[in-house]
Structure 1
Amino acid sequence: MSHALAFRGMDTRRARAHGDRLRSASEDLAELRGRLDPVVARVGWVGPDADVLRARWSDLASARLTQLGTELLALSGMLMAEAARQDAASAAGVAEAAGRPGPLSGHDGHGDRGATDGSGYLTRDDPRLPGWLEEPFEGAASDLAGVVSDAIGWGVDQALEGAGWAAGRLGLDSDGLEQAHRDGDALGGLLEDWATGERVPTIAELGASTLLAAGSAAIAPAELVTDTGLLDPRTDVTVHGVREILHPSTPQDLADLIVANDEARRSGVVGVAAGGYDGTSSGQVRIQTVRAADGGEAYIVHAPPTGGEPIWDPQAWGPQGNSAGWDSNLRSMAGQESAAMADVRAAMEATGVPPGADVLFVGHSQGGLTAAQLAADPAFNSTSGRLGSYDVTHIFSVGSPVETVVPAQGRTEVVNVAHNPVWAPTPQVAGFPSPGYAPIHIADPVPRLDLDGHRVDGSRVAAPNVRDAWLDAPQQTHGESSQITNAHESVLRTSRGIDPTGGYYGSVRGSTDSNPVLARLQADLEGRYVGEGVVVVSDQVVEVGREDMR
């Protein structure tokens, strides 16, 4: 009785093609290093810092590029040699199938039916199963066997790639595996940077990356049979429309900026969001073009906070059309490109903000973090004038966790307002020597999610151009919202209208003159983005987001 076996060796054609790509990549790295070495050497900069820069380039960048190029070339040679050996083994298998002795003979020394498809696939078919049914399953089983072997030598990275290939052979959707692969790579990159001393990640950044990697891995099995959209970055956003505010008003101070930002996320408040906008199918980014007192033109970009479904609804973690869901919170905190960031890029392009333009970002909660991550991108925050780059002069945010992010330009000023708790003594309790203390005004927990920028080695991210303005949380004046809502909302709206003392609007309104950080920011923006002599010449709301999967 013959033994039905299936074995998939190396696809030598693809192996040789990949070997060629590795060799080409090695040559590209050598060319890149050859171009950059003289550039670094010719930098017109002298002094100890310049010497440190050149030494670090030589020891870390240039040397590592050389080493990586050598390793890629070696891998290319190994792959070519393995392909040659596989071809020899396949030829022996074909000889055995023709009745000649070969290394894959059966127990009785005679081979069963054998074949090769030129890609390393050798099979002994089970006559009880039709070929159309057996072939995909035996190919997938062989692929998975190869995955197990690869995982021993090459790790989880190759395992996920192989599992994706096997899923494809079975007609399953491998997008979830690829997503898990990308998130695992991102986490691995952080750990590698830490291990090699390149950069120590913050606790918040590493925690968010770990959650993304673990979540994507957990979702991957379900993604094989259905597209859940969960934790899928989906940064291919679409602009659904641009609407003009016909009678814009010019912001006079920081409090007015908070109100303008809050208006942009609401339906009907600014009079441009008609048509059933509900904040779930898309989001809104507001862009104001201002003419400064000196005649120069600048732009105020309002990045929205978390939008759409609440945190406990799975739709809020990727499937909804509004890009500013809770999944974008995680991606931005992990330092990755989020769909919320893509929204802002698309909105600025749609409204014609020119490259190199002066930009003030205003954001609340996630909006501030989105702005900070964009400003940390040297391709975005730049004075180069290249397409897609802008000169981010200031970021003003409220209730945002931004202390893990350092702008790409040292001249970009970042100010975030955060609410501290207000404590008061509790009544004297018999048996205790003194009264205790309890918060009478609850703090906003969101700005603290960055853990004050602490890194995993105990150090802390510190940049002189990134500052928090800590204000006392507002006193509860109306019973229509909770204290935690009052502490985190940018503008507290009640049935009586805007509460003049509630939310961040109320705190900033009453503290701009007395708080030195806010007073300095107000002075910086005066005459340039807000205040006397400034005119809003265009006020647009861009409706933008991802395809709604529901």
Structure 2
Amino acid sequence: MSEQLWGQDIEQVRDLARTFDRSAQNLDAARQLIDGAVLGFDGWGANVDEMRDMWSGDLAPSLTHAADALRTAGDKAAQNADDQQETTDSYSGGSPFAGASASGSVQAGNPFAGASAEGSGEAESDGGVLDWFGDQVSDGAGWLSDSASDLGGWLSDAGSAIGGSFGSLGDAGGQLWDATGGSILDGRWPRTTEMIASGLLFGGSLVNAALTAGTAGQVDLQLFDDGDPYAGDPQPVNPDTMTIPNDIEDLTQSVTDAYGAGDGTVRVTTIDTPEGPRVIVSVPGTESWNPATGDNPMDLTGNLVTAGGGTSTMTRAVELAMQNADIPPGAEVMLVGHSQGGMTVADLVSDSGFVSEYNVTNAMTFGSPIDSNRIDPGVNVLEVQHQSDVVPRLDLGDSRAPFLPGSPDSGSNHTDLTLDNPGSWYDATANHSHKEYTDSLSSSTDPGLTAYEQQLRDSGFLSGNENSTSAVDVHVGREN
């Protein structure tokens, strides 16, 4: 019986060798490209240093090792193809797919096995090389999969941070335009406070975008990023701790209660009356002055957006809180706010659509700069300030930009009330305190205050009936 010998397809082995070599070159090129990206940009900080160390100490050497392994395997495959060709050429049968050796056999289909004078010994040696290469390919595939996943996650996070920062910058730029050129095109002279607040917001957003992009998204402070609003589920207020509205200072006390209920809390009080429900929405003021935004929209960024003439996340979140509170259809609604909360209230009741949807009849602000708001004329407004409280004067009396002629436009329908300072004229904290406003209102005999309080009593907002009064707290927040 004649001996049949089988060998490898030499051209397939040569193609495999070339594939290994091209793959090694591609890995080298990828390493050089990422080297330039990681080490070449102008960034700083602990996160950036950690990223560079991870690349230089682990990822880049692993890529080099994988490329070297592919190159070695390619060289071995090319050499074995040459050996097979030699053996084929010398075999008397002349078949291009036959291999011969002194022992009369060749490993079938193994590109790393070649014929030789010693036959089986060479095959065993080449089998070890194949096992080694298989281990290298398996390890390399696992590393590449893990690295691709890590790199993909890092790039996604970085892209999201950079995109978000430029989105905020675009919003701030749009608000600045609305406060300046856009205002003129709309037939309204720019207001000094709106221009200043919008300019500060744009400048801060520009710094944030430059910092985030300059660090490839590794440093994302979210400076002046107003984000998107959300409101939680209503939480019933314990009747034993609830302020029952009986007089006008109880309205400010309900705002103080909302301050005490936790950051980002809006209180919604419902009074059942023979004429139908009356609802009072109590909105606190600023609870954070950090330019880096977080969950609580009652902060510096919210102030700048609202003061600049924009619609802040805080304003939209309060409206969401009212939706979640399930205000009874047809109920008459009153909004009360201190400081930034008063700005939010004024912003809401300047929207005729909102006033109509929620049947808003009254609004009260204390310690709030709201002179620039064009409040719906159907809303009866009480604006309260201490004589030396600086905050309600930040709107500069709705003054036009200083380079423009003329006087400010007339304001909306207000009852203005200026109270004596609770302390020294220079005590800014006491003069702006929501608690001090409650004390000042309780001792005031101003005729305007008395008339406004009587109107609220006649409307059913000041019933003083604890059996017909309930309240819920709604957490409002910002999604960044």
Normalised-by-shorter TM-score class: 0.5 to 0.7
3-state SS in 2 of match to 1:236: strand
1:174–1:223 CA contact under 8 A, matched in 2:
no
Counterpart of 1:417 in structure 2 is 384
Shift of 1:322: 1.6
1:193–1:200 CA contact under 8 A, matched in 2:
no
Counterpart of 2:295 in structure 1 is 321
Q: How does 1:291-306 map to 2 (within 5 A)?
A: 291-292=272-273, 294-306=274-286
Shift of 1:455: 1.6
Give the counterpart of 1:130 among 3, 24, 29. 29
TM-score, with normalisation over the residues of structure 2? 0.62
CA distance in 2, matches of 1:450, 1:210: 15
CA deviations on 1:413-464 (whole Å, 9 max, x unpaired) are 22111111xxxxxxxxxxxxxxxxxxxxxx1111111101112234213235
3-state SS in 2 of match to 1:381: helix
Q: What stretches of structure 1 of length at least 5 have no aligned partner?
A: 1-126, 139-166, 268-276, 383-388, 421-442, 477-481, 492-502
| CA separation of 1:217 and 1:129: change in aligned 2, threshold 3 A | farther
CA distance in 1, matches of 2:354, 2:36: 47
CA distance in 2, matches of 1:415, 1:455: 23
CA distance in 2, matches of 1:356, 1:200: 37
Shift of 1:197: 5.6
Counterpart of 2:419 in structure 1 is 471
Counterpart of 1:260 in structure 2 is 254
CA deviations on 1:49-71 (whole Å, 9 max, x unpaired) are xxxxxxxxxxxxxxxxxxxxxxx
Shift of 1:261: 1.3
CA distance in 2, matches of 1:378, 1:194: 19
Counterpart of 1:246 in structure 2 is 239
CA distance in 1, matches of 2:380, 2:284: 19
- Name the count of aligned residue pairs: 330
Is residue 343 of structure 1 aligned with residue 311 of structure 2?
no
1:400–1:447 CA contact under 8 A, matched in 2:
yes
Shift of 1:265: 0.9
Shift of 1:134: 5.6
| TM superposition outliers: structure 1 runs of 4+ over 6 Å | 135-138
- Which amino acid in structure 1 is aligned with residue 421 of structure 2? A
| CA separation of 1:546 and 1:347: change in aligned 2, threshold 3 A | same
- Which amino acid in structure 1 is aligned with residue 190 of structure 2? P
Is residue 448 of structure 1 aligned with residue 393 of structure 2?
yes
Q: How does 1:217-236 map to 2 (within 5 A)?
A: 217-224=206-213, 225=217, 226-236=219-229
Q: What stretches of structure 2 of length at least 5 have no aligned partner?
A: 1-25, 38-154
Shift of 1:136: 13
| CA separation of 1:357 and 1:530: change in aligned 2, threshold 3 A | closer
CA distance in 1, matches of 2:346, 2:292: 21
Q: How does 1:137-286 map to 2 (within 5 A)?
A: 171=159, 173-196=162-185, 198-224=187-213, 225=217, 226-239=219-232, 242-247=235-240, 248-267=242-261, 277=262, 279=263, 283-286=264-267
Is residue 332 of structure 1 aligned with residue 306 of structure 2?
yes
CA distance in 1, matches of 2:235, 2:275: 26
- Which amino acid in structure 1 is aligned with residue 410 of structure 2? A
Is residue 537 of structure 1 aligned with residue 436 of structure 2?
no
| CA separation of 1:136 and 1:261: change in aligned 2, threshold 3 A | same
CA distance in 2, matches of 1:539, 1:490: 20
CA distance in 2, matches of 1:489, 1:533: 25
3-state SS in 2 of match to 1:305: coil
Shift of 1:128: 13
| CA separation of 1:201 and 1:392: change in aligned 2, threshold 3 A | farther
CA distance in 2, matches of 1:446, 1:374: 19
3-state SS in 2 of match to 1:396: strand
CA deviations on 1:278-317 (whole Å, 9 max, x unpaired) are x3xxx1100001123x42212100011111x4x3xxxx23
Q: How does 1:467-506 map to 2 (within 5 A)?
A: 467-475=415-423, 483-491=427-435, 503-506=436-439
Is residue 519 of structure 1 aligned with residue 467 of structure 2?
no
Q: Percent identity?
A: 29
| CA separation of 1:355 and 1:205: change in aligned 2, threshold 3 A | farther
CA distance in 1, matches of 2:465, 2:250: 13
2:179–2:308 CA contact under 8 A, matched in 1:
no
Counterpart of 1:546 in structure 2 is 478
CA distance in 1, matches of 2:201, 2:422: 34
CA distance in 2, matches of 1:318, 1:528: 43
3-state SS in 1 of match to 2:354: coil
CA distance in 1, matches of 2:394, 2:359: 28
TM-score, with normalisation over the residues of structure 1? 0.55
In terms of Rg, which structure is larger?
2
2:337–2:345 CA contact under 8 A, matched in 1:
yes
1:322–1:545 CA contact under 8 A, matched in 2:
yes
Counterpart of 2:21 in structure 1 is none
1:233–1:318 CA contact under 8 A, matched in 2:
no
CA distance in 2, matches of 1:297, 1:321: 32
| CA separation of 1:132 and 1:403: change in aligned 2, threshold 3 A | same
| CA separation of 1:218 and 1:526: change in aligned 2, threshold 3 A | same
Q: How does 1:91-102 map to 2 (within 5 A)?
A: none
CA deviations on 1:222-264 (whole Å, 9 max, x unpaired) are 2231332221111232416523333445311111111121111
1:528–1:534 CA contact under 8 A, matched in 2:
no
| CA separation of 1:415 and 1:450: change in aligned 2, threshold 3 A | same
Q: How does 1:54-65 map to 2 (within 5 A)?
A: none
Kindly report the root-mean-square deviation, in angstroms, between the aligned alpha carbons of the 2 structures.
3.2
| CA separation of 1:303 and 1:471: change in aligned 2, threshold 3 A | same
CA distance in 2, matches of 1:410, 1:320: 35
